[in-house]
């Protein structure tokens, strides 16, 4: 069994987490690296607390106490416009100080976000393309996570 803690961008503070949990179920997006036949436990799900990451100094350490072996910075860190400008600070702090590996991104990037960011060019400009591979390499999964598609959750 693997145990993870998920931190979401506070711009999505009212998010139900539905897309992350759907991706965990189907092992898509960043979660495809975890075997489907092994349990994946989410020990906590919390927002960053708002720019520049009010909860950063406490939340990852707390998630570690609850058993997290890895911290997932949810896809919202990259889906918002612009992507989180503190992303590298989050990664450095969690990996070097808290002592847990970080996964950037959670559920597949919804198709409508992929189209918007490609048109805006910010993913290139902000240097986050390196995190987008597992989130954008499955168009069908991206369609399934796009809440603007007529068949969403049907
Ligand atoms: S942009 Fe970054 S620091 Fe600001 S609310 Fe979102 S995740 Fe937190």
| Residue 113 backbone dihedrals phi, psi, to 5 degrees | -75, -40
Domain count, the chain: 1
- Residue 59: pLDDT band with limits 50, 70, 90: very high
Average pLDDT score over residue span 66-85: 97
154 is a domain residue: no
Report pLDDT for 35. Answer: 94
Report pLDDT for 150. Answer: 87
152 is a domain residue: no
What residue numbers bound the domain in which 128 lies?
A: 2-144
Q: What is the pTM of this model?
A: 0.96
Work out the percent of the chain whose per-residue pLDDT is above 70.
Answer: 100
| Ligand 1 atom nearest residue 87's Cα | 2
User: Over the chain, what is the mean pLDDT?
Assistant: 96
Which protein residue's CA is at the shortest distance from atom 1 of ligand 1? Answer: 84
CA Rg, the chain, in Å?
A: 15
Q: Is the pLDDT of residue 46 over 90?
A: yes
Write out residues with Cβ below 6 Å of ligand 1: 9-11, 48, 50-53, 77, 84, 86
Q: State the distance from the centre of ligand 1 to the C-alpha of 84, rounded, in angstroms.
A: 5
Q: State the distance from the centre of ligand 1 to the C-alpha of 31, rounded, in angstroms.
A: 22
CATH number, domain containing residue 127:
3.40.50
């Amino acid at each position: 069994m693997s145990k993870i803690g998920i931190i979401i961008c506070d711009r999505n503070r009212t998010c139900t987490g539905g897309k992350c949990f759907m991706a965990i179920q189907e092992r898509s997006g960043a979660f495809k690296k975890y075997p489907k036949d092994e349990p994946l436990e989410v020990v906590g799900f919390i927002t960053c607390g708002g720019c520049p990451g009010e909860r950063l100094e406490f939340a990852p350490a707390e998630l570690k106490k609850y058993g997290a072996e890895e911290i997932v910075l949810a896809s919202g860190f990259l889906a918002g416009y612009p992507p989180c400008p503190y992303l590298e600070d989050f990664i450095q702090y969690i990996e070097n100080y808290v002592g847990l590996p970080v996964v950037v991104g959670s559920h597949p990037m919804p198709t409508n976000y992929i189209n918007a960011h490609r048109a805006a060019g910010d993913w290139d400009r902000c240097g986050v393309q390196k995190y987008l591979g597992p989130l954008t390499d499955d168009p069908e999964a991206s369609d399934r996570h796009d809440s603007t598609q007529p068949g969403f959750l049907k």
